[in-house]
Structure formats: C-alpha cells, structure tokens
C-alpha cells in the first residue's frame, strides 16, 4: 500500500476516534443528566411533592409562619428561594435538615439521611434545578461556585 494512502487511512481513523471521543463527552453526559433528572422527578413525586407541591409551588402563604410558628414548605420553582442556595447548602438541607444550615431552626421537613442515598438526593436537586429558568439557574450555579 502506498505511503500516501496509508497516511490518509490513518488520518481518517484518527478523525473517527476523535469524533467518537467528542460524541462521548457531549451525548453520553447529556443522556446521563436526563436519566438523573428523571430519577429525581420520580423521587420528588414520592418524597417531596406532598409538602412542596406536585408543580414545585410550595404551600400557600409559605412566607408566613403557621400557628405553631414553623414555616410552611416553600416552593422550589422560580417563585421561591431555593435557587438562592448553593449546591452544598441544598444538599445539606435535604440530607440533614434545615438545622444543618441554620442552627436551631425548627422545621417540619425531615432529614433524608437514611431515606435517600447521596446519589438520589443529587438527582432530586437536579430535577428541581432543571425546572428553573436560565436566570435562576445561572444565579444558583454562580452561587455554588462562590461568586455570588
């Protein structure tokens, strides 16, 4: 086989391998993210929607204490304040309860340690974040990077 033809075949093979690597970085993570969001949607429906609402709308009058002094479940959509918290804060609140972030805070929200795995908590949070408009999602990402 002539040198030029062999070189062309090797260059073509290199382009194909490079293309496969790029596709793996772009397509597979997108598919993994979609699967995580779907898992989070199902877990949210099972563990969170009864308080925070099936449409993430929260309880009525969520900004005002109930008669017992505890706050109602806030919305997780863009109308609430969930997107004001970093990934670390959201994870800690979900796993350990509000007192993990605000010492002494009494909440009716249970801690999900022992109920949901870390992976499942991250999936629920991925689902919630997937519903936010770009502005809220960008703000929350910046907050998570410590830039807000």
Looking at residue 105, its pLDDT comes to: 83
Average pLDDT on 107-112 reads 91
Note the helical H segments in 48-109.
49-52, 87-96
Distance separating alpha carbons of residues 102 and 84, to the nearest angstrom: 15
H/E element holding 41? Answer: helix 3-47
Note the helical H segments in 101-133.
118-130
Q: What is the pTM of this model?
A: 0.77
Every domain of the chain and the residues it spans: 3-144
- Predicted confidence band of residue 25 (pLDDT cuts 50, 70, 90): very low
Measured CA to CA in angstroms, residue 14 lies from 5, 25, 97, 130, 146 at distances of 14, 17, 51, 36, 40
Average pLDDT on 41-52 reads 97
Q: What mean pLDDT is reported for the chain?
A: 86
- Predicted confidence band of residue 21 (pLDDT cuts 50, 70, 90): very low
The percent of residues above 90 in pLDDT, for the chain, comes to: 68
Distance separating alpha carbons of residues 34 and 126, to the nearest angstrom: 9
Distance separating alpha carbons of residues 6 and 14, to the nearest angstrom: 12
Domain topology for 3-144: Cytochrome Bc1 Complex; Chain D, domain 2 (1.10.760)
């Amino acid at each position: 086989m002539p040198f030029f033809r062999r070189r062309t075949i090797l260059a073509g093979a290199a382009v194909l391998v490079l293309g496969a690597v790029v596709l793996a970085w772009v397509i597979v993570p997108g598919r993994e993210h979609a699967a995580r969001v779907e898992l989070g949607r199902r877990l949210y429906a099972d563990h969170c929607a009864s308080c925070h609402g099936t449409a993430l709308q929260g309880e009525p009058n969520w900004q005002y204490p109930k008669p017992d002094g505890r706050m109602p479940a806030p919305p997780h959509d863009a109308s609430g304040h969930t997107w004001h918290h970093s990934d670390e804060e959201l994870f800690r609140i979900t796993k350990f309860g509000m007192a993990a972030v605000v010492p002494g805070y009494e909440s009716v929200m249970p801690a999900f340690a022992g109920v949901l795995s870390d992976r499942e908590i991250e999936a629920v949070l991925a689902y919630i974040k997937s519903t936010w408009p770009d502005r809220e999602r960008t703000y929350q990402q910046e907050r998570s990077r410590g830039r807000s």
